[in-house]
A and B are shown apart, each in its own frame.
Chain A
């Protein structure tokens, strides 16, 4: 690939390998520890393998960021391919040490300029921003031009979903709020939102049907959309299908992705959830209408 600006992300972004490859996006895998064994996240691109490995465990593998050396190696690979500028979009700084490692490596790297952009996201919230950046790079824009368009994306990217339970999120230690609002007597499925690095509860439901309604309503109100991804994780397939039908007309077909969330997402969010990552169109005049 002759592009002088290249995009790099990490395994948390959940980008399907074929999609990443077609746009020349470099993916640095992260690490999972399951029952004392260490795996690279890209070993689980086939999700069946992941679920198989998790069987008989508590379902919450530990995760670890790639080392500075690995980032240096990844940058070097891109430089070898002719990159003069590298734009890195990684999992939200506040939620993981991946960005910190990538930054340390960037400071030591001299063969190309490395620019890091804060995504405030995980999973396809990162992935959608990386796709957007790669498309601009493919158009031959300069690094400065790309950065000026990519840096504002975090403010328009949302991850909205229903958790199968709160258990995984609590165990992950990534959120500080209490269970009080969700209650502990009835089985409640919390609706959570991630935006600019902050995880928030925005509703509580007892059934998939209500969750789908709430999520689809949110997406309809947030439209127009630049890109949309439907995420699921061991979720009943009829639920996923129903949500797809609700959503697919809201965004151009080539801007819509549907995928099973990856190991990191699953670790922190837990199975049986469903949600969307949405990159809203740049329409400042609609900002008031898009309030949450």
Chain B
């Protein structure tokens, strides 16, 4: 392949499109190597696969576009990545593309200034997408790349040269991730999401220099896998969104532009820096704004400068939480005194729908039987995309919805889908396991507010202990537990605690590790590969062993995890 010849004013949309394609192909080449960095030895959503699927969705948006306009193409890439984002790494990658595209907005071509601006915006947007940014992750890599771009832009006018410099810096930043994130250092690995970004940038640069990115090309060995050792339990990829007590006010309003003069991107840009969970949608005539802030006056006075305000709603989420705890909502006050919650008849329209992510026929049924309106198929090994969750949200007949991601690696995708669901008020309850999701769903109260429910459901989810029994996907030694590929292993709230020869033995040993005082009930969800008789016999044996506990055995039908335990 020949090196791409840059025209005087930088790269056009078609050249950029080929760079994106190259990035995808190069990522595919490295997918397994990146997955291998996800060394916690459970069958889980892998970073390499998630980032590849996210990039595939981006590529699908532009594959047949003939546009020369790079701003247009970058915008489509961002949209595709956003819709296809899977896993926390995929979500952050989609934010990077979103910022990158914004930096190229209205640009026909990308020169070094354009690339520097795009990288700068990419880093900013990626950090904003995460409530508590964690250094030593993909965030560090994109930030250092953006910094390098600001230096490089003064040193060269050649985009290829500049990108080469950025790739070098990305690799250096990636190599330092273990020094920033103790969990990586302990495990002796680099961050997998950061590695994915290095590969993407490298793929783009290789295209510009005419280096092969064909299938079969030996992948560049960026990380010494021989040195890779396991990292401790409880480590999810990237950072996770969390409720932020620094932004207690939920502010919503609509700005009316009488003269069709509203500048949506400008409004969005301003609102986004004001607080948390920003949502700005609309057109030149009407813009809907939703944001969590410390001071509600800030977005409202800004909005009033843009146009006439309508439907202004300010809610104190901290207060709502308190109110919910007290089990009260204003709408229920009858004239005669205290009222009771209404009976929830099947035919009665319920104001809040629940979308749960679940895998396994039995578990999906449990979610439906407890009132989940939609179940998105996915979980441990196949993380659903933003678009998958959005599609479920669009089927709802209510204006309010709660998403139960039920997996730590689906939290950010759920958050992203929630922010993109137009015309729908959506809260994400950050459930990290299926048992947590069930515990949360049980306390859903159709009489309470959305935020109040989210707070109470989050609390209920944290009250239970989740046990997971699966098999090791590789040899590891961590937290004093040595396991070999194929061994049965047991985790308690994401921490590897026991290993054994059979899955049933692991269940028994798991329970020995749980502080069981104050616990009453253990629910055993057995997986698709477990015989009902085996599970029932195990339940009976445990009931005899722990007379103070009640055991319930349910067909979960989940793959990869022979047993899931809910200890409450």
On A, residues with C-beta under 8 Å from B are 155-156, 158, 177-178, 180-181, 183-188, 193, 195, 198-210, 217-218, 221-222, 280, 284, 287-292
Contacting residues, chain B, for A186 (C-beta < 8 A) = 366, 369-370, 438, 523, 552, 554
Q: How far is the CB of A73 from chain B (nearest CB, A)?
A: 36
Whether A158 touches B369, Cβ cut-off 8 Å, given contacts A217-B327, A291-B328, A292-B328, is no
Whether A156 touches B340, Cβ cut-off 8 Å, given contacts A185-B366, A221-B326, A221-B327, is no
| A193 touches which of B330, B333, B337, B340 (Cβ 8 Å) | B340
Whether A217 touches B554, Cβ cut-off 8 Å, given contacts A186-B438, A193-B340, A292-B332, is no
Query: Across the interface, do A292 and B340 meet the contact criterion of CB distance under 8 Å?
Result: yes
Whether A202 touches B345, Cβ cut-off 8 Å, given contacts A183-B370, A209-B518, A291-B333, is no
On B, residues with C-beta under 8 Å from A are 325-330, 332-333, 336-346, 362, 365-366, 369-371, 438-439, 442-443, 445, 447, 463, 518, 520-521, 523, 550, 552, 554, 568
Q: How far is the CB of A42 from chain B (nearest CB, A)?
A: 31
Q: How far is the CB of A133 from chain B (nearest CB, A)?
A: 19
| B442 touches which of A185, A188, A202, A221 (Cβ 8 Å) | A188
Task: Using CB atoms, name the residue of chain B closest to A193.
Answer: B340
Query: Across the interface, do B346 and A287 meet the contact criterion of CB distance under 8 Å?
Result: no
Q: How far is the CB of A78 from chain B (nearest CB, A)?
A: 31
Query: Across the interface, do A201 and B370 meet the contact criterion of CB distance under 8 Å?
Result: no
Contacting residues, chain A, for B325 (C-beta < 8 A) = 217
Query: Across the interface, do A292 and B339 meet the contact criterion of CB distance under 8 Å?
Result: yes
Q: How far is the CA of A61 from the CA of B330 in the complex (A)?
A: 41
Contacting residues, chain B, for A193 (C-beta < 8 A) = 340-341
Q: How far is the CB of A64 from chain B (nearest CB, A)?
A: 27
Contacting residues, chain A, for B327 (C-beta < 8 A) = 217-218, 221, 292
Extra contacts besides A195-B340, A207-B521 (9): CB < 8 Å: A156-B338, A180-B371, A181-B346, A184-B369, A185-B369, A186-B438, A186-B552, A201-B341, A291-B332
The 5 A-B residue pairs with the shortest CB-CB distance in the complex, in nearest-first order: A183-B369, A290-B338, A207-B520, A291-B328, A202-B341
Q: How far is the CB of B335 from chain A (nearest CB, A)?
A: 9
Contacting residues, chain B, for A185 (C-beta < 8 A) = 362, 365-366, 369, 554
Q: How far is the CA of A128 from the CA of B552 in the complex (A)?
A: 38
Q: How far is the CB of B229 from chain A (nearest CB, A)?
A: 40
Task: Using CB atoms, name the residue of chain B closest to A177.
Answer: B343
Contacting residues, chain B, for A221 (C-beta < 8 A) = 326-328
Contacting residues, chain B, for A292 (C-beta < 8 A) = 327-328, 332, 338-341, 447
Q: Interface centre among B445, B463, B520, B554, by most A CB within 10 Å?
A: B520
Mostly helix, strand, loop or mixed at chain A's interface? mixed
Contacting residues, chain B, for A222 (C-beta < 8 A) = 338
Q: How far is the CA of A261 from the CA of B119 in the complex (A)?
A: 71
Q: How far is the CA of A205 from the CA of B332 in the complex (A)?
A: 22
Task: Using CB atoms, name the residue of chain A closest to B338.
Answer: A290
Q: How far is the CA of A100 from the CA of B443 in the complex (A)?
A: 39
Q: How far is the CA of A187 from the CA of B326 in the complex (A)?
A: 26
Whether A203 touches B521, Cβ cut-off 8 Å, given contacts A195-B340, A287-B333, is no
Q: How far is the CA of A14 from the CA of B242 in the complex (A)?
A: 50
Q: How far is the CA of A187 from the CA of B521 in the complex (A)?
A: 10
Whether A203 touches B337, Cβ cut-off 8 Å, given contacts A183-B370, A186-B438, is no
Q: How far is the CA of A204 from the CA of B369 in the complex (A)?
A: 13
Q: How far is the CB of A210 from chain B (nearest CB, A)?
A: 8
Contacting residues, chain A, for B326 (C-beta < 8 A) = 217, 221
Whether A187 touches B366, Cβ cut-off 8 Å, given contacts A201-B344, A287-B333, A292-B327, is no
Q: How far is the CA of A224 from the CA of B80 in the complex (A)?
A: 58
Contacting residues, chain B, for A280 (C-beta < 8 A) = 337-338
Contacting residues, chain B, for A199 (C-beta < 8 A) = 343
Q: How far is the CB of B164 from chain A (nearest CB, A)?
A: 58
Q: How far is the CB of B27 from chain A (nearest CB, A)?
A: 41
Query: Across the interface, do B366 and A183 meet the contact criterion of CB distance under 8 Å?
Result: yes
Can you report 24 A-B residue pairs in the complex whose CB atoms are below 8 A from each other?
Answer: A178-B346, A186-B366, A186-B438, A187-B552, A188-B442, A198-B343, A204-B443, A205-B442, A206-B521, A207-B521, A209-B520, A217-B325, A218-B327, A222-B338, A280-B338, A284-B337, A287-B333, A288-B330, A288-B333, A291-B328, A291-B339, A292-B327, A292-B338, A292-B339
Query: Across the interface, do A203 and B445 meet the contact criterion of CB distance under 8 Å?
Result: yes
Contacting residues, chain A, for B523 (C-beta < 8 A) = 186, 206
Contacting residues, chain B, for A187 (C-beta < 8 A) = 521, 550, 552
Task: Using CB atoms, name the residue of chain B closest to A187.
Answer: B552
| B345 touches which of A177, A184, A210, A288 (Cβ 8 Å) | A177
